């Protein structure tokens, strides 16, 4: 059950834009716009609320490919389903990952969650499938990915708000979310530290943050592959380096599980 989502007006944060819960019913197409008292207006097309009108012009090659319909179409079935198994060299299904996510996040009735860089919405969907009485916001700056998230959400009967925005500048009020989840997005960000700071801003003081990211490889072939990905804009860190980023943003680690280079971490705000 989704409640009314409040977005900050870009012009003046004293003016909130109230997003009606009907928008989160992904099986019911919703088109139009929402307007704040200061006149700022966001378009809504097929349930997707666009806070940014176009893709940012400083995207890396990896980020640009996520704006292609072909990538969005193939992403979950061709890549995401097998990704953890391929990257970790171990058997690991989407169901295993969803179980870990829900075991650590423990979504409860009435809570609010944010999926940062949701792509086709796998984490967002997993939370709402576990606890349909929580409210979930899935954020990405790629329209084709959000369109696919809508399609997947509708076919699974999973309600959520879909927001097109830049994670470096999120349209949410401070302390909006009881939990944040993010799968694989950190490695792709042009400014990961800034996004982590934004996550700290929009999470409650007692919130929890589930983040999956890829570590720097220590085999020669892994290093070679990662050097190639670096050119495309994908970054890798050692566990110590990424922990330093989490600490700098105001988080501390509660739990960690690594499978090869795949690293799952549960964080909480330090203050």
35/52 with CB nearer ligand SAM: 52
38/65 with CB nearer ligand SAM: 65
Report yes or no: 119 and 140 within 8 Å, Cβ to Cβ: yes
24/142 with CB nearer ligand SAM: 142
Alpha-carbon span 73 to 67, nearest angstrom: 11
User: Does the footprint of ligand SAM cover residue 80 (CB under 6 A)?
Assistant: yes
Alpha-carbon Rg for the chain in angstroms: 18
Residue numbers 34-73 binding ligand SAM by CB under 6 A? 63, 66
User: Does the footprint of ligand SAM cover residue 188 (CB under 6 A)?
Assistant: yes
3/82 with CB nearer ligand SAM: 82
Query: Which one among 24, 47, 135, 142 touches ligand SAM, defined by CB under 6 A?
Result: 142
Interface characters, 90-129, with ligand SAM (x: CB under 6 A): ---------------------------xxx--xx------
User: Does the footprint of ligand SAM cover residue 194 (CB under 6 A)?
Assistant: no
Stretch that binds ligand SAM, among 135-143, 214-222, 238-246, 250-258 (CB under 6 A): 135-143
Angle between the 143-156 and 122-130 helix axes, to the nearest 10 degrees? 30
User: Does the footprint of ligand SAM cover residue 184 (CB under 6 A)?
Assistant: yes
Number of residues that bind ligand SAM (CB under 6 A): 20
Alpha-carbon span 118 to 153, nearest angstrom: 12
Report yes or no: 135 and 6 within 8 Å, Cβ to Cβ: no
Query: Which one among 168, 201, 216, 255 touches ligand SAM, defined by CB under 6 A?
Result: 168
Alpha-carbon span 262 to 96, nearest angstrom: 14
Alpha-carbon span 50 to 140, nearest angstrom: 10
80/201 with CB nearer ligand SAM: 80
Say which residues have a Cβ less than 8 Å from residue 121's Cβ, sequence separation at least 6: 115, 138, 148, 149, 150, 152, 153, 158, 160, 162
Stretch that binds ligand SAM, among 27-35, 126-134, 141-149, 198-206 (CB under 6 A): 141-149
User: Does the footprint of ligand SAM cover residue 243 (CB under 6 A)?
Assistant: no
Longest Cα–Cα distance in the chain: 57
Compute how many other C-beta atoms are within 10 angstroms of the C-beta atom of residue 107.
Answer: 25
User: Does the footprint of ligand SAM cover residue 145 (CB under 6 A)?
Assistant: yes
Report yes or no: 206 and 271 within 8 Å, Cβ to Cβ: no
Alpha-carbon span 174 to 156, nearest angstrom: 31
The residues of the shown chain that bind ligand SAM, judged by CB under 6 A, are 63, 66, 80, 117-119, 122-123, 140-142, 145, 166-168, 183-185, 188-189
């Amino acid at each position: 059950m989704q409640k009314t989502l409040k977005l900050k007006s870009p012009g003046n944060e004293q003016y909130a834009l109230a997003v009606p819960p009907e928008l989160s019913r992904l099986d019911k197409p919703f088109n139009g716009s929402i307007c704040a008292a200061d006149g700022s207006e966001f378009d809504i097309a097929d349930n997707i609320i666009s806070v940014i009108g176009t893709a940012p012009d400083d995207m890396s090659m990896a980020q640009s490919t996520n704006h292609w319909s072909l990538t969005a179409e193939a992403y979950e079935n061709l890549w995401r389903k097998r990704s953890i198994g391929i990257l970790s060299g171990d058997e690991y299904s989407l169901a295993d990952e969803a179980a870990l996510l829900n075991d650590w996040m423990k979504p409860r009735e009435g809570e609010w969650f944010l999926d940062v860089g949701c792509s086709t919405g796998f984490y967002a969907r997993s939370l709402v499938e576990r606890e349909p009485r929580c409210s979930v916001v899935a954020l990405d700056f790629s329209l084709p990915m959000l369109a696919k998230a809508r399609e997947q959400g509708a076919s699974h009967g999973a309600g959520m708000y879909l927001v097109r925005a830049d994670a470096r500048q999120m349209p949410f009020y401070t302390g909006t979310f009881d939990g944040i989840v993010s799968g694989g997005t950190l490695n792709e960000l042009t400014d990961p530290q800034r996004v982590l700071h934004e996550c700290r801003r929009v999470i409650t003081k007692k919130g929890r943050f589930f983040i999956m990211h890829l570590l720097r490889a220590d085999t020669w072939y892994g290093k070679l592959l990662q050097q190639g990905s670096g050119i495309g804009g994908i970054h890798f860190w050692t566990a110590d380096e990424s922990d330093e980023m989490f600490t700098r943003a105001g988080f501390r680690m509660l739990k960690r599980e690594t499978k090869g280079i795949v690293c799952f971490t549960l964080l909480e705000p330090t203050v």
